[in-house]
Amino acid sequence: MIIIPPMLRKFFLIIILLSSSIGLSQYNFKGQIAEQKSGKTIYLSIIEDYRKFGRISMNQILKKTTTDSLGYFSFNGNNLINENRIYRIHLDDCPKSSSSSEHFFGSCEYSKSILFIANNTDTITFPTSFDNEALCEITSTNSKSSTFLDIDVLKEQMAFDFNDFRSDANRKLNSKKWFSTLQDFGEKLDEPLAELYIFNFLSDKRNETYSYYLKDIGNTDYYIKLGERLNAKYPKAPFTNLYINEIAIDQQIAGSNTPKPQLWKWLLPLLLTLSIALNIYFLIRNKQNIKNADNEALEKLTEQEQNIVQQILENKTNKEIASSMFISVSTVKTHINNIYRKLQVASRDEIKRRYRPLT
């Protein structure tokens, strides 16, 4: 019988424990594309920016592999984050004639991708479906991995409701219904990453839901509470800070777009009253200025011309004026023409309209 010294036994025990720990913490993601898809490139990416769910960028890529002769692929290791994160697997199924960027971004017709939630200890399988479709099903040791697929089913139902009747009334009705449905569904999943996936969809400026989102963010505390849930579970994650900052900005935008009915309730009548008062003031002032100018012009007339103006205001004829002033009618006419020129009028009636009787 071989006797192992105590110190050596401790050393072997530590080695065994470390090996077990490493083995337990490894992730394993595997799947099958199709038998005829051998040699195809598969990428594993991490999504830290939820606004990039729909596109692939170089800094997201973690690993790259190729499918074997039967169309199988696998990713495994110990380099993922221990808490849940959002990952993408995408298949480059572009023909050889495609550009290098099309190959990398998987932007060809038959290229496929799938988003899922995972951590460093998960074992996930991506089997082909009954109709030989790849990357559309998930089997996982992590109960949250396939939540995006469940959400996508609801999004398809939502799209059907929106397209059924494309009227404003239908859009408002369905917006209220589906915002509530998706948010409640996400909250019940007890995974803020799933709610973040829903938020990204509902608040996307390219979607019809964006205008309702700006109204909704001002009417509910759901978005604040989601930020609290993200901060509690993923306090140091980049997407948490991104979300909190974005919500703060969107609340300001929503606030600036929201009318203030209580303010306008009394401000509008006040502005109308002020406008009427100013119009009356300027009208009176304008009339007074005109009257002052007319009186100044009248005072510049000679005494005899002022006498004639007075008699015009008394509706006397030229003959009556001539008789009262002991001058000829032609002289009266000459004086009247001079009066017209000095006062800048064209007729007796205009004199009567503009000048009050002299006293």
Q: Is the pTM of this model over 0.85?
A: no
Look at residue 81 in the predicted model and tell me its pLDDT: 92
Integer Cα distance of 228 and 184 in angstroms: 16
Average pLDDT, stretch 299-324?
Answer: 86
Integer Cα distance of 158 and 164 in angstroms: 10
Average pLDDT, stretch 263-291?
Answer: 74
Higher pLDDT: 352 or 27? It is: 27
Confidence of residue 358 (pLDDT cuts 50, 70, 90): very low
Higher pLDDT: 294 or 112? It is: 112
Longest dimension (CA), the chain: 164
User: Per-residue pLDDT for 289 more than 80?
Assistant: no
The b/e string for 253-277 (b: 16+ C-beta within 10 A; e otherwise) is ebeeeeeeeeeeeeeeeeeeeeeee
Phi and psi at 173, nearest 5°, equal: -65, -45
User: Per-residue pLDDT for 20 more than 60?
Assistant: no
Integer Cα distance of 315 and 328 in angstroms: 18
Q: DSSP string covering 137-169, please?
A: --EESSTTTTHHHHHHHHHHHHHHHHHH--SHH
Question: Which residues does 95 contact at the CB level (< 8 Å), separation at least 6?
Answer: 108
What single letter denotes the amino acid at residue 298? Answer: L
User: Per-residue pLDDT for 40 more than 80?
Assistant: yes
Higher pLDDT: 44 or 277? It is: 44
Average pLDDT, stretch 230-246?
Answer: 94
User: Per-residue pLDDT for 22 more than 50?
Assistant: no
User: What Å distances lie between residue 240 and 87, 142, 203, 287, 350, CA to CA?
Assistant: 16, 21, 16, 68, 80
**Both structure tokens of 132:** 């030989």
Higher pLDDT: 316 or 12? It is: 316
> pLDDT exceeding 90 applies to what percent of the chain?
36
Integer Cα distance of 321 and 255 in angstroms: 76
Look at residue 230 in the predicted model and tell me its pLDDT: 96
User: What Å distances lie between residue 357 and 289, 293, 316, 326, 339, CA to CA?
Assistant: 18, 16, 13, 22, 15
Average pLDDT, the chain: 82
Integer Cα distance of 90 and 105 in angstroms: 9
Look at residue 293 in the predicted model and tell me its pLDDT: 63
Phi and psi at 65, nearest 5°, equal: -145, 180
151-155, 171-175, 240-244, 253-257: lowest mean pLDDT where?
A: 253-257
Assign 87 to helix, strand or coil: strand
Average pLDDT, stretch 284-306?
Answer: 74
Look at residue 92 in the predicted model and tell me its pLDDT: 81
Q: What is the pLDDT of residues 52-82, one digit of tens each?
A: 887 777 788 999 999 998 889 999 999 999 9
Q: What is the pLDDT of residues 76-103, one digit of tens each?
A: 999 999 999 999 999 887 777 766 666 5
Q: What is the pLDDT of residues 117-175, one digit of tens each?
A: 999 999 999 988 766 678 889 999 999 999 999 999 999 998 888 777 677 777 778 88
Spacing of C-alpha 29 from chain mean position: 37
Look at residue 99 in the predicted model and tell me its pLDDT: 66
Look at residue 198 in the predicted model and tell me its pLDDT: 95
